């Protein structure tokens, strides 16, 4: 019988073959590195369970997003089809997902069409009878539209996406049966007991249902995964502002921004997705100017700075960009850079940012050719923007869903309007 480590490795390499992923030295090194950390931290069973959830989603032919959160920074997740963004092609960083000495399980979220969460769990239990699954009930003080769950004359709320999946049968006072489904009662989400900590997140997205309706009508030839991501007519739709029912872009306030920015790639859409947030909005005129007036004004004497910032037109909007700057310009390891990112973004007193500046400047003087003025400029950019940075993979993935919507709106307008105007999903 294979160990969980052997089983995971087999699943990963089978997945690499099915994706026809060239096993170059870079890919092999990344796979070996990631698997070694996953094995060392005893996370193998967790990844195996997620791979089985994906297996069930694919058997149910459910449309999923490319990624959610930082999970797409892992080539292991890509091979397991948990994510659909190749982290090596996108120059992503595994340590943004898992740190080498991390004890807590990494956060993996899966987007599926609305209403299919229960279907996935039922099929998973049928296919793998060793699993027990518990939806989560909790007390919420704020008003929400989450499903009501009744237990011991008290109204609880069903957690919208977290599910406990375990090979052990939970038998304690915190479990109960409601509408033929077992629930685990999370009385204290802040403390998060050991059971609650091991949750699997299936996030339901209504937009995916509506896109699936369109595919069912026009055929698998035009499945979202098969669409080209470089259609000029699609980007023109974003520029002209026809944004009704475009996933997360259907805000009138975005129309003038898109008209000025004129997105012409999925990466441009991803940038706008991030920029349309509190505090970053102040930088919108700068990024529009930078896109159309060249980038020579941030061409530092160390060209590596230009290479890193060029993707986002000279601004620091992705968390991964911060990690690359620290690694390449200041000689700080990705693991240490990620620790700095977490400390700075959690710090309310500026204690960490002041300590960081000292470490960063020392590293720059040793590892880069930046002069004092350039170093100060780069440091100011980081200090001013680090707290508002966003995971690149999350932004890119959700921008792809928006692109899918726009593609169907451009090329299959009748089907799109019908699918997105119907209340029946």
Please give the pLDDT value at position 190.
Answer: 47
pLDDT confidence bin for 171, thresholds 50/70/90: confident
Q: Report whether 167 contacts 200 (CB < 8 A).
A: no
Q: How many CB atoms lie within 10 A of CB 349?
A: 7
Model confidence at 14: pLDDT above 70:
yes
Instruction: Give the residue from 83, 101, 88, 72 showing the smallest Cα distance to 338.
Output: 101
Q: Which residue has the tokens 């995916």?
A: 208
Distance CA 133, CA 135 (A): 7
Instruction: Among 212-221, 288-297, 343-352, name the one with the lowest average pLDDT.
Output: 288-297
Distance CA 94, CA 97 (A): 5
Q: What is the mean pLDDT of residues 290-294?
A: 88
Please give the pLDDT value at position 296.
Answer: 59
Distance CA 308, CA 384 (A): 17
Model confidence at 156: pLDDT above 50:
yes
Share of the chain above pLDDT 90, in %: 83
N-term to C-term CA, the chain = 44
Rg (CA), the chain: 23
pLDDT confidence bin for 191, thresholds 50/70/90: very low
Distance CA 86, CA 78 (A): 6
Residues forming a β-bridge with 199: 164
Q: What is the mean pLDDT of residues 197-211?
A: 93
Can you give the residue ranges of every domain in the chain?
A: 4-206, 278-389
Q: What is the mean pLDDT of residues 109-130?
A: 96
pLDDT confidence bin for 350, thresholds 50/70/90: confident
pLDDT confidence bin for 173, thresholds 50/70/90: confident
Please give the pLDDT value at position 424.
Answer: 57
DSSP-assigned states of every residue in 191-250: T--HHHHSEEEEEEEHHHHHHHHHHHHH-GGG-GGGS-S--HHHHHHHHHT--TT-TTT-
What stretches of 114-197 show up as alpha helix (H) in DSSP? Answer: 117-127, 194-197
Share of the chain above pLDDT 70, in %: 96
Q: What is the mean pLDDT of residues 142-159?
A: 88
Distance CA 16, CA 267 (A): 25
Distance CA 148, CA 138 (A): 10
Taking the CA of residue 343 as centre, how many other CA atoms within 13 Å lie in the half-sphere pointing to its CB? 14
Please give the pLDDT value at position 295.
Answer: 64
Distance CA 401, CA 108 (A): 19
Tens digit of pLDDT for each residue in 257-283? 999 999 999 999 999 999 988 789 899
Reduced to 3 states (helix: H, G, I; strand: E, B; else coil), residue 151 is strand
Q: What is the mean pLDDT of residues 301-311?
A: 91
When the pLDDT of each residue in the chain is averaged and rounded to a whole number, the result is 93
Instruction: Among 34-38, 49-53, 190-194, 365-369, name the one with the lowest average pLDDT.
Output: 190-194
Q: Report whether 337 contacts 101 (CB < 8 A).
A: no
Q: What is the mean pLDDT of residues 380-397?
A: 95
């Amino acid at each position: 019988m294979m160990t969980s480590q052997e089983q995971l490795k087999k699943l990963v390499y089978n997945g690499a073959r099915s994706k026809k992923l060239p096993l170059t030295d870079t890919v092999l090194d990344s796979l070996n590195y990631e698997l070694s950390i996953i094995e060392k931290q005893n996370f193998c069973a967790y990844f195996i369970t997620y791979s089985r959830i994906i297996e069930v989603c694919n058997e149910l032919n459910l449309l999923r997003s490319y990624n959610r959160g930082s999970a797409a920074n892992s080539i292991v997740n890509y091979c397991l089809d948990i994510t659909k963004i190749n982290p090596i092609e996108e120059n992503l960083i595994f340590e943004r997902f898992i740190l080498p000495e991390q004890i807590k399980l990494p956060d993996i979220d899966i987007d599926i069409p609305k209403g299919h969460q229960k279907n996935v769990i039922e099929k998973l239990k049928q296919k793998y009878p060793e699993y027990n699954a518990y939806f989560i009930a909790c007390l919420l003080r704020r008003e929400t539209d989450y499903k009501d769950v009744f237990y011991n004359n008290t109204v609880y709320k069903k957690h919208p996406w977290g599910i406990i999946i375990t090979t052990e049968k939970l038998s304690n006072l915190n479990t109960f049966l409601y509408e033929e489904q077992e629930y685990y009662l999370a009385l204290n989400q802040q403390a998060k007991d050991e059971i609650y900590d091991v949750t699997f997140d299936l996030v339901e997205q209504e937009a995916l249902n509506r896109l699936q309706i369109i595919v069912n009508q026009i055929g698998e030839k035009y499945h979202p995964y098969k669409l080209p991501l470089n259609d000029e007519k699609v980007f023109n739709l974003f520029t002209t502002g026809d944004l009704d029912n475009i996933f997360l872009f259907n805000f009138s306030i975005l129309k003038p921004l898109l008209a000025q920015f004129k997105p012409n790639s999925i990466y441009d859409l991803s940038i706008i997705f991030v920029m349309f947030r509190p505090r970053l909005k102040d930088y919108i005129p700068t990024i529009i100017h930078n896109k159309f007036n060249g980038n020579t004004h941030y061409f530092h004497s160390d060209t590596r700075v230009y290479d890193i910032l060029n993707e986002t037109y000279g601004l620091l909007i992705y968390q991964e960009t911060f990690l690359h700057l620290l690694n390449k310009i200041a000689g700080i390891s990705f693991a240490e850079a990620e620790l700095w990112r977490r400390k700075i973004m959690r710090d309310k007193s500026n204690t960490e940012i002041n300590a960081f500046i000292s470490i960063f400047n020392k590293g720059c003087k040793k590892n880069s050719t930046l002069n004092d003025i350039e170093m100060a400029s780069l440091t100011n950019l980081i200090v001013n923007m680090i707290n508002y940075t966003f995971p690149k993979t999350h932004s890119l993935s959700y921008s792809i869903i928006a692109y899918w919507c726009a593609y169907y709106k451009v090329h299959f307008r009748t089907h799109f309007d019908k699918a997105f105007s119907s209340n029946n999903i």
